Amino acid sequence: MDRVIIVSGGRLGDAEFFRRRVSAVKNRLLVACDGGARHLATLGIGPDVIIGDMDSLSAEALASWERRGVKIVRYPVNKDFTDTQLALDYALSCRPVAVEIWGALGGRIDHTLANIYLLQRAWEAGVQACLIDEFTEVSLAEKETKIAGAAGCLVSIIALSPVVEGISLEGFQYPLDGENLSFAESRGISNIITAPMATIRVNRGSLLIVRYRRAGVFPEAD
């Protein structure tokens, strides 16, 4: 399987953006986190799996999905992990090449932060994961990460480890050459891609990449 798309229950945003994105991915599994199934219903797309405590879906909606052959994985309401983490663990068990998580940004800050740290969980399992909305793509840096066709777009890098070592940036307004970035500093915020191909290299540590899709277009401008 190439890709698992997880649809969480948070803000989804531009429906047409997600319709185009899901139609472009052929060999994929679509997993809804409980109320994420409502987002998919709005898009006119059926999930393959619904996971969670089902506190955001009516019994009628759940029965309707079941009649259509959707796999339902139920958990108790009083559980230790969020529906998004449970969905990610299910996704990782399918051994995909990559995982996308929609509806995981914005809204409650505690959920957003937890979703960001779930990227580390996927990385430790050897799977590249990202959080996506119509404005932003959030992921962890590989040893070498290339970004093509995004000249003029804003990119921020944030250390998730106490220290991220040996960071090099090529094709950016503010380049770096083998420098370190600590968890408690903001030096990596608001860089600009200046080349047709930008490259981020990391020797050691977890480095978060926040990339905005269009130059000068941000969520707060909506």
Q: Where are the domains of the chain?
A: 3-134, 144-221
Asked, colleague to colleague, whether 3-134 and 144-221 share their fold, the answer is yes
Q: Provide the token pair at 61.
A: 């909606």
Q: What pLDDT score does 220 carry?
A: 67
pTM of the complete model: 0.91
In the structure encoding, which two tokens stand for residue 99, read together?
């995982």
- The DSSP symbol for 25 reads -
Non-local (6+) Cβ contacts of 137 within 8 A are 130, 131, 210, 211, 213
Give residue 2's region: left, alpha or beta (phi > 0; psi -120 to 50): alpha
Please state which architecture CATH assigns to domain 144-221: 3-Layer(aba) Sandwich (3.40)
pLDDT value of position 9: 85
Q: What is the pLDDT of residue 222?
A: 42
Question: What's the Cα-to-Cα distance from 162 to each of 154, 182, 206, rounded to whole Å?
Answer: 24, 6, 9
How would you list the strands of the sheet with 176-182, edge to edge?
144-148, 197-201, 163-170, 176-182
Token pair belonging to 124 = 């430790």
Contact 200, 149 (CB under 8 A): no
| Res 63: pLDDT | 87
d(CA 72, CA 136): 30
The CA distance from 210 to 87, in Å, is: 22
Q: Residue 34: its pLDDT value, please? A: 85
Contacts 24+ apart (CB under 8 A), 58-66: 61/37, 65/37
Q: Which residues of 185-198 are buried (b: 16+ CB within 10 A; e: fewer)?
A: eeebeebbbeeeeb
Q: How many other CB atoms sit within 10 Å of the CB of residue 78?
A: 6
Integer angstrom CA distances of residue 175 from 17, 140, 156, 169, 172? 31, 19, 12, 5, 5
For the chain, the residue count is 222
Q: Where does 3-134 sit in CATH, by number?
A: 3.40.50.10240
Give the list of residues 6+ apart from residue 26 with CB closer than 8 angstroms, or none. Answer: 2
Per-residue pLDDT of the chain (222 residues; tens, 9 = 90+): 789 999 998 888 888 899 898 888 888 999 999 889 988 988 889 899 999 888 888 888 888 888 999 999 989 888 889 999 999 999 999 999 999 999 999 878 999 999 999 999 999 999 999 999 999 999 999 999 999 999 999 999 999 999 999 999 999 999 999 999 999 899 999 999 999 999 999 999 999 999 998 888 888 644
